[in-house]
Structure 1
Amino acid sequence: MSSIEKKIENVNVTAQEVLITPARLKAALPMSDLAKEVVNQGRDTVRDILDGKDHRMFVVVGPCSIHDVDAAMDYAKRLKALADEVSDTLVIIMRVYFEKPRTTVGWKGLINDPYLNDTFKIEEGLHIGRKLLLDISELGLPTSTEALDPISPQYLQDCIAWSAIGARTTESQTHREMASGLSSAVGFKNGTDGGLTVAVNAIGSAVKPHRFLGINGEGQVAVIHTTGNAYTHIVLRGGSQGPNYDSVHIKLCEAELTKAGIPLNIMVDCSHANSSKQPQLQPLVIENVANQVIEGNTSIVGLMVESNINAGNQSIPEDLSKLAYGVSVTDGCIGWDETETALRTMRERLKDVLPKRAR
């Protein structure tokens, strides 16, 4: 074969499947008026907390990843009852993560592989994911997710009250541009090394207008023009040097934010390196944060907690019938009983403190 005859385009591509457009998916699974109200109220509440108009703290809590929609709804119903119970002090947002960044390879989440068997039925994953977000919203519970794939927000973002940009993608220009146009508040995690610079730079970028390539509701490639997202903030998740949620690290973070002219809004991820990758230690992080608030901290506005019906995690077996119910298939989580106890205790300790906190 001559060099002219040799394939020059899509050399490593074996197929291209045309997906349903965002507009068609939304028409097939439309938002009810109740769901719209829950999402808008959730977004407005987070913005008010970031602006210092609402004294409460918001807590993003739920499974590391969603792989079983029935278990997810079971968890959501429990969480809704707890959210109502602690609502004078804590604003509960359910963590509904569909996309998982992988260091090398592995299960990439419910949207990418909804049947956990390497069939990669992405269009079905989009339907399943959107339906779950709508069902949870209609319980009266706002939802959050990690904005990982730059295309999927066109399909799902209208259902989301708060979004995260993960430690692996905070430094990515693509994700900073995307965050500048997301409709929800966005938390940028510090880098995997624990450094703050990439997150501070990301916030500085995402608040500005951008123009970049994306898709529109009809699935056409488009130049996206954004206004910038004024409600971006930092999420401390620890790093390779260890945890970074203690009062010393919080002060150092405040100094970096002040230097950059960024509002002092800090969220603490109780998992990952902040719990030394031991999920059962998350309640101790929650306790430490509550202590800091009681002792006068005014910059910590939120928490993230990885929690499931049952504690721990499990590998995905070849025989999916052997999956344990309500147990994470990615990072380990605390169980429901520990979640209830930790958040009820936090509410009890802070219910008289937060209303007096001057921000």
Structure 2
Amino acid sequence: MPHAQTDNLNIAAFDRMPSPEEITRAVPLSDTAAKVVLDGRRALEAILDRRDPRVFIVVGPCSIHDPIAGLDYARRLKVLADEVSDTLVLVMRVYFEKPRTSTGWKGYINDPHMDDSFRIDEGMEKARRFLLDVNEIGLPAATEALDPIAPQYYGDLISWTAIGARTSESQTHREMASGLSTPVGFKNGTDGSLDAAVNGVLSASHPHSFLGINNQGQSSVIRTRGNAYGHVVLRGGGGRPNYDSVSVSLAEKALTKAKLPPNIVIDCSHSNSWKNPEYQPLVMRDVTHQIREGNRSIVGLMIESNIEAGNQPIPADLSQLRYGCSVTDACVDWATTETMIREMRDTLRPNLSLRSAG
């Protein structure tokens, strides 16, 4: 008598996914892009090591849904990045995966056609192609690592990685971060607590062994060396912001107590701006003042920015989407972005040498 089936009872289908090697073969890394990726990582590592007094800014759309508008944004950002490069290092925010509280569009990789067809195979290749284009424009790219398998598909095109507020406490994501080739920012919890982020940085700094896939798509035991460039991202939470000087000082003390470098990035969005993009410039101005007044632990900032301000629901007729406007969190527009970044550069540039000598 055959055994009763006990597994895969809620699985509707197994659709074959191309391996990382196959996707990379379809969209190979170019020499130009490789140089931009490596130069971006080295610049961020130098800032985190205090060998470079500049401040980095991860700036761009909350999520990518239209690659044409995304590359339009990237070209604008490249011009601005060159203009402010004596004081600031700009890294384009290129987020393809969106964690959902319950349901909703999960991002460009999961559903690239935005029609619930969930062509992840197509989404992964399109995402890699977009990252390649951004790097070939001359901009390093940043993303959030949500799916633990995804970095094998496009990690060679990323210069900075975030671990989100919902996953900083996850052992899976801490293990993954320990093997990433980029500096990694762990966000504080949605309740505003620092413990998950600090422990995440500490855990990721050590070697780990865990299950994953190799470039051929085979199940493998991944053994990592540990990531020396983890840091904390303050994004507010628990009903209050945490970018103020007292919150920053508490974060410094928590990192020092854990025997970690006091490296802190301030996310100008999310709970730090009460999810109102109009407050992002106010947050950035306050953080700029802290740096000008001598703070050395704040090494970077994050801004949610797009061509157009605000956000929009995803319509049934996708031709009705507004060009360059977010379909996830609301963003500041391009004109505001330019003003914010230029103001920060103008304020910090005279004091940069003091920051270096401090």
1:21 corresponds in structure 2 to: 19
2:137 corresponds in structure 1 to: 139
Q: Deviations over 1:88-143 (max 9, x none)?
A: 00000000000000010100000000010000000100111000000010011000
Aligned counterparts, 1:202-351, within 5 A: 202-351=200-349
1:120 corresponds in structure 2 to: 118
Equivalent of 2:91 in 65, 90, 93:
93
SS at match of 2:56: strand
SS at match of 2:350: coil
1:355 aligns with 2:358: no
Q: Deviations over 1:222-277 (max 9, x none)?
A: 00000000000000000023100000101111111111111011000000000011
SS at match of 1:149: coil
SS at match of 2:113: coil
Distance, in Å, in 2 between the alignment partners of 1:277 and 1:21 is 37
How far has the Cα of 1:7 moved from its partner? 3.0
1:167 aligns with 2:165: yes
Distance, in Å, in 2 between the alignment partners of 1:146 and 1:171 is 15
1:10 corresponds in structure 2 to: 8
1:200 corresponds in structure 2 to: 198
Q: Deviations over 1:316-342 (max 9, x none)?
A: 011111111100000000000000000
TM-score by length of 2: 0.98
How far has the Cα of 1:6 moved from its partner? 4.3
Distance, in Å, in 1 between the alignment partners of 2:219 and 2:172 is 15
Equivalent of 1:54 in 42, 52, 55:
52
Q: Which structure 1 segments of 5+ residues have no match?
A: none
Residue-pair matches, total: 357
Calculate percent identity across the aligned residue pairs.
60
SS at match of 2:240: coil
Matched letter for residue 296 of structure 1: G
SS at match of 1:351: helix
Q: Deviations over 1:146-167 (max 9, x none)?
A: 0000010000100000000000
1:130 corresponds in structure 2 to: 128
How far has the Cα of 1:5 moved from its partner? 6.0
Matched letter for residue 311 of structure 2: N
Equivalent of 2:79 in 78, 81, 99:
81
RMSD: 1.0
1:111 corresponds in structure 2 to: 109
Q: Residue 56 of structure 1 contacts residue 355 of structure 1 at CA under 8 Å; is this kept in 2?
A: no
Distance, in Å, in 2 between the alignment partners of 1:33 and 1:212 is 31
